Amino acid sequence: MKGFLRCLNEDYDYGHELKDLLDAVDELISISPDITKYIHYLNRFGIGLRYKNMSNDPTVDDARTAISRTKEIMQEFRKHPDILNFMKEAEEVHSKILRTNYEKYPQEAEYSQE
């Protein structure tokens, strides 16, 4: 969501609360109720895992569910034309950087392919 907001040159809170980011995004585009629920579900893992504030580690099922829901959230955001354009530009820049590095340092490129 931070990437989405940055792509649109929108200000956002640099905190870790996904709920706050969701509010900022929801002002710009309509977020489906399912995606909103998924974001609220994932919010409980963000800070707790990072700062070890959770009472216990997530289960394997929790991890699988989090991954699945994250993929669905990403699919929702990829539908937005500004995100698609941003991703295309980012891929082009990344490819250009890789080509430049391979041309500049061909011996390292050969080594990295082995």
Q: What is the CA radius of gyration of the chain?
A: 18
- For the chain, what is the domain count? 2
Residue pLDDT, tens place only, 24-55: 988 888 889 999 999 988 887 766 666 666 56
Query: Are 44 and 70 part of one and the same domain?
Result: yes
User: Domain limits at 111?
Assistant: 81-114
| Spatial separation of the C-alpha atoms in residues 42 and 58, rounded to whole Å | 11
The whole-number pLDDT of residue 63 equals 87
pLDDT of residue 113 exceeding 60, the answer is no
48 and 2 in a single domain? The answer is yes
Q: Write down the mean pLDDT value for the chain.
A: 81
- % of the chain exceeding 70 in pLDDT: 82
Claim to verify: residue 47 and residue 68 sit in the same structural domain: yes
> What per-residue confidence (pLDDT) applies to 33?
93
Residues 66 and 114 in one domain: no
Please indicate, yes or no, whether the overall pTM of this predicted structure exceeds 0.75.
no
By residue count, the chain amounts to 114
Provide mean pLDDT across the span 86-91.
82
